[in-house]
């Protein structure tokens, strides 16, 4: 099982951690939410928890709790700019459907 990141995402995460002055990496998890079933939750992790799986790529750590990992396995985290908007995009091969607003997904 693995979660990967693009060069763009790695650069953005690294920059944010440097600006914060602390942190282990980016925590990615899912929670039941929205009209399709699940939504992604992102936060900077200041420590690695016992329940975390840690994936390190391009000098950046991605932390995923063991409950979320089956829903995130194979996901690539990207950081994109579309016009004036910048955001993380999840290329998750497990997603079967997404809601119309793009905030939630089902597997």
- CA nearest neighbour of 91 among 106, 72, 107, 104: 72
Number of domains within the chain: 1
Q: How does residue 68 score in pLDDT terms, banded at 50, 70 and 90?
A: very high
CA distance 57 to 107: 26
For position 50, which CATH number holds?
2.60.300.12
Residue 18 phi/psi, 5-degree rounding, is: -65, -40
Q: What is the pLDDT of residues 7-39, one digit of tens each?
A: 999 999 999 999 999 999 999 999 988 666 888
Indicate the DSSP class of residue 82: E
Q: What pTM did the predictor assign?
A: 0.85
Domain assignment present for 22: yes
Q: Could you give the strand order of the β-sheet that contains 85-91, starting from the edge strand earlier in sequence? A: 4-5, 76-82, 85-91
State the pLDDT at residue 52.
95
Domain coverage including residue 15: 4-97
Residues making up the chain, counted from first to last: 107
Residue 106 lies in a domain: no
Structural domain includes residue 20: yes
Q: Give the tens place of pLDDT for each residue, 87-105.
A: 999 998 988 877 665 566 7
């Amino acid at each position: 099982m693995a979660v990967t990141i693009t060069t763009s995402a790695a650069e953005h995460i690294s920059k944010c951690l440097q600006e914060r002055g602390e942190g282990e990496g980016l925590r990615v998890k899912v929670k039941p939410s929205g009209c399709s079933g699940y939504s992604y939750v992102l936060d900077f992790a200041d420590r690695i928890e016992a329940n975390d799986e840690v994936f390190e790529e391009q000098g950046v750590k991605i932390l995923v709790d063991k409950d979320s990992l089956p829903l995130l396995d194979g996901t690539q985290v990207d950081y994109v700019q579309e016009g004036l908007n910048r955001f993380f995009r999840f290329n998750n091969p497990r997603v079967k459907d997404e809601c119309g607003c793009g905030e939630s997904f089902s597997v």
